Amino acid sequence: MNGLSGKSALITGGASGIGRATAMLFAAEGASIAIADLNSAASSDVVRLITGQGGRAFFVPCDVSRALDCERAVRHIVEQFGHLDILINSAGIIRRAAVTETEEEEWDRVLAVNLKSVFLLSKYAIPAIAQAGGGTIINISSGWGLVGGRKAASYCASKGGVVLLTKAMALDHAPQKIRVNCICPGDTDTPMLRNEAAQLGETAEAFLIDAARRPLGRIGTPEDIARAALFLAGDASSFVTGTTLVVDGGGLAG
């Protein structure tokens, strides 16, 4: 399991959920990991797990909606590991509300964390990845980036933007040997999903049972999404760019 040996990966939102699972899997595959997050305690736990198993990892505090933080995160991984090969834009938040129920500040925050962050991290990462001879960017969108969802206006808008930003970057940066792809997960058992239940006034147990009502009959796991990211980061997908990979147990199939 050394498919990413010699590679370095910057992972936003790496302290929990999909980002954490991706950091652990990529480290097991030989990559050196930088976790960009605001949760220092949880990020440090992931770093300890990776280094305790012989891997290389460090944590850089980062508000992904701030340009200075994003630029610093990219600079630190290049300083630590000498190069940047993979960027995983996994940080995200959700506000479960219709347009009429959403405050302007809430709208701005969801768009900043979910969409602006992809722009900012990519803006600073692309020159570094190009200098390394090329690499990959993987953006985590959502099934609700492809179809609408009730009481999730700001989230759907942000994730739909991620899908088309992915395609635009894939066209612009293919000459630099940078592949840019997007994963659209279905409901995945993460802290954010459980927070959705609380926002809607539902129990986590009932919410997860409802989320499992899809053709494969179960909810997704962070590891399901991490394995899809591993495919897009590795040589097996060397002719894949500008695509949207839906990983949702068949939820959008019909």
Q: Whose structure tokens read 């500040």?
A: 105
If 0-12 CB within 10 Å is exposed, 13-18 middle and 19+ buried, where does residue 163 land? middle
Task: Pick the catalytic residue from 13, 155, 228, 232.
Answer: 155
If 0-12 CB within 10 Å is exposed, 13-18 middle and 19+ buried, where does residue 101 land? exposed
Q: Do 12 and 22 touch, CB atoms closer than 8 A?
A: no
Helix (H) or strand (E) holding 195: helix 191-199
**Backbone region of residue 121 per phi and psi (left: phi > 0; alpha: psi in -120 to 50; beta: other values):** alpha
Task: Indicate if 124 belongs to the active site.
Answer: no
Which active-site residues does the annotation give?
Answer: 155
